[in-house]
């Protein structure tokens, strides 16, 4: 699949097509919408160590860090927590494939529940407040309201694991729930607030990138001024239904670029982002109301499509008759995107 990768010499980000093998991770360059035949590079997994979650870059919270036995660091970025955890689990399995005892230990740790002895919630909160190593506070939108100095449920879980307060996401969720019960943190926004009404204690805190929390003594929500909003608040406040990397054909130059697509409902919008940029702002997007979406045949190049594309194409026509040509990584992924988009048109 597609993942942004940081360069070693020039520290910029490029999207590459990754293929995980038993002993190595290959990555390919995409030219004209098609994967090149020879890999651009490879990461040897023998003796490799993996860090996930990796919180070294504030603007990129969904990183996986691989350090080879020659001490070369590779940073790979995923588009969602679920995708990151899936890649990390598969890579970890490949790293330890020849060591079944270590694989069993990894699964035991993943499924175990054992909080640290004599753990201090006050100590955790003090560490969370630390300006350099604490949890990163950001501004977030929820149902049209802007909250400042917040963090997401999944970000807190990541932080607790990376700081060795927990060894599994289940443990981290339990710790976060304790912090909330003791009024160190509180939910803000609809999703996290509604979860607190759940009769199941394990579901009161959400390990989710759309659930917002803040320190209990932090200021209340504020609505942003027009100058702070570069995109319509309503179109960016819908619930995220699906997100992932797809290849899109440009409107003017007709070249193909990998973009991170985010599909939102209520209201239905499809936005796309440049994953090589530091700012997490859409570079484009459109309302799905009145749109037509359909798959394109893989035999031959359809009219309107330029370049030697890989295949798995689908087309979206907006109500203003603007045509978007998009390429998925597989037929199954194309079907999933079409089925997710259609109910919102």
Residue where the block lists tokens 């190049």: 301
Average pLDDT over residues 252-265: 89
The Cα 244–Cα 283 span in angstroms is 15
How far CA 230 is from CA of 93, 224, 284, in Å, comes to 42, 11, 12
Q: Are residues 195 and 256 in the same domain?
A: no
Q: Which residues pair with 25 in a beta bridge?
A: 20, 43
From the CB of residue 159, how many other CB atoms can be counted at a distance below 10 Å? 24
Average pLDDT over residues 131-153: 83
DSSP 238-254: SEEEEEEEEEEE-SSS-
Answer whether residue 226 is part of any domain: no
Range of the domain at 25: 2-110
CATH number at residue 205: 1.10.10.10
pLDDT of 196 reads: 81
Answer whether residue 225 is part of any domain: no
pLDDT of 251 reads: 79
Q: Are residues 273 and 335 in the same domain?
A: yes
Task: Tell which wins on pLDDT, 97 or 327.
Answer: 327
Q: Let me know: does 252 contact 238? Beta carbons within 8 Å.
A: no
Q: Give me the helix-helix angle, 169-181 and 153-162, nearest 10°.
A: 110
The Cα 200–Cα 202 span in angstroms is 5
Question: At residue 185, does pLDDT exceed 50?
Answer: yes
- What is the separation, in whole angstroms, between the first and last Cα of the chain? 27
Q: Let me know: does 142 contact 190? Beta carbons within 8 Å.
A: yes
CA angle 198, 176, 199 (to 5 degrees): 10
Q: Are residues 204 and 125 in the same domain?
A: yes
Task: Tell which wins on pLDDT, 11 or 74.
Answer: 74
Answer whether residue 166 is part of any domain: yes
Q: How many domains does the chain have?
A: 3
Q: Which residues pair with 303 in a beta bridge?
A: none
The Cα 166–Cα 186 span in angstroms is 20
CATH number at residue 31: 2.30.29.30
Q: Let me know: does 277 contact 294? Beta carbons within 8 Å.
A: no
Q: How confident is the model at residue 345 (pLDDT cuts 50, 70, 90)?
A: very high
Answer whether residue 116 is part of any domain: no
Pick the last residue of a domain from 189, 220, 251: 220
Task: Tell which wins on pLDDT, 142 or 196.
Answer: 196
pLDDT of 145 reads: 75
Answer whether residue 163 is part of any domain: yes
Pick the last residue of a domain from 89, 110, 131: 110
Residue where the block lists tokens 């702002």: 281
Question: At residue 288, does pLDDT exceed 90?
Answer: yes
Element at 261 (helix H, strand E): strand 256-265
Task: Calculate the average pLDDT of the chain.
Answer: 83
């Amino acid at each position: 699949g597609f993942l942004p990768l940081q360069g070693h010499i020039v520290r910029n980000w490029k999207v590459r097509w990754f293929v995980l093998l038993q002993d190595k991770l290959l990555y390919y360059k995409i030219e004209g919408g098609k994967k090149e035949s020879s890999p651009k590079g490879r990461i040897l997994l023998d003796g490799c160590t993996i860090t996930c979650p990796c919180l070294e870059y504030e603007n990129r919270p969904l990183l996986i860090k691989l350090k080879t036995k020659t001490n070369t660091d590779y940073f790979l970025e995923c588009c969602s927590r679920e995708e990151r955890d899936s890649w990390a689990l598969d890579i970890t399995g490949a790293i330890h494939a020849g060591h079944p005892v270590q694989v069993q230990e990894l699964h035991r740790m993943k499924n175990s529940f054992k909080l640290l002895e004599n753990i201090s919630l006050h100590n955790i909160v003090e560490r969370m407040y630390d300006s350099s190593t604490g949890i990163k506070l950001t501004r977030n939108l929820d149902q049209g309201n802007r909250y400042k100095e917040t963090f997401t449920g999944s970000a807190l879980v990541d932080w607790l694991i990376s700081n060795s307060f927990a060894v599994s996401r289940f443990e981290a969720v339990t710790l976060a729930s304790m912090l909330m019960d003791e009024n160190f943190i509180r939910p803000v926004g609809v999703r996290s607030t509604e979860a607190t009404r759940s009769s199941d204690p394990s579901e009161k805190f959400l390990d989710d990138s759309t659930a917002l929390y803040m320190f209990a003594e932090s200021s209340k929500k504020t609505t942003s001024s027009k100058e702070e909003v570069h995109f319509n608040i309503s179109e960016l406040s819908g619930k995220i239904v699906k997100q992932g990397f797809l290849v899109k054909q440009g409107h003017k130059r007709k070249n193909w670029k990998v973009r991170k697509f985010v599909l939102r409902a209520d209201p239905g919008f499809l936005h796309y982002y440049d994953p090589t940029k530091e700012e997490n702002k859409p570079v484009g997007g459109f309302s799905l109301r009145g749109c037509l979406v359909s798959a394109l045949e893989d035999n031959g190049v359809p009219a309107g499509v330029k370049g030697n594309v890989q295949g798995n194409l689908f087309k979206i026509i907006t109500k203003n008759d603007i045509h978007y040509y998009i390429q998925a990584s597989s037929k199954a992924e194309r079907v999933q995107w079409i089925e997710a988009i259609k109910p919102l048109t």
